[in-house]
Structure 1
């Protein structure tokens, strides 16, 4: 089901356990403005959208585009070879660090088959805990999209996407 910008803002605000007044104060707007966004009567101006995407640790694309489900199944006849695909990992820490790792899926598969550690994943307990054999199996069966999205108890966000 597609979500509007307003529905996304409302959901994200509620996930942070914030009121409309609190979000309005953070964004430097009135609580009526936030209410209008969430009900679809208006949308935030571009500078506010950028600020919202940073605040909620998501891309501007993910905030503004109406997207289908994050994970989808590709029919057999439309599947790419693993050698043509990438594993994309985005990490947003509470301290403001942003880390993006793009790895060829063939490399990830080879590392999984050889039980090798992937150096880019050593800094995160969440990434170390990923079962790459399971991820590869899912991909070989046609599962694509954002396959892992985790928010740690500290507020760090890790997203793993296969494209």
Structure 2
């Protein structure tokens, strides 16, 4: 019995070293998610104020004065008038693909848009906006929930969808 165990152990160990010195090929791990990408120029020009829409996947909430900003994960921000906290009124949707976070000071919005930091001024009276600045590649590329990443020249990943 000891001889059989010894032979099996030797066989197992030698199979580990058959490709010693050669490159090993590893089967690639395929993501269960599909990247949602935008061409860089489309990505940079995709920010706009739209009419109110339904919340799909709410995320972070930011409150400033009488307004509430609710992030719709990686699509933008729903803007609510909270003058009457018992009955907030949905006003507009700030479409900004890839957006996950926001900070606001003196009507200046600082938004994480996928890999970029976007600074824009919002007029709360008529909901007009001016994009003041974009700092590219401040944040790391968005990886899929299972850890994969997508990289292609001139494209930005704004979301991952399950296949």
Q: TM-score, normalised by structure 1?
A: 0.28
Q: Which has the higher helix share?
A: 1
- Please identify the structure whose Cα radius of gyration is greater: 2
TM-score by length of 2: 0.28
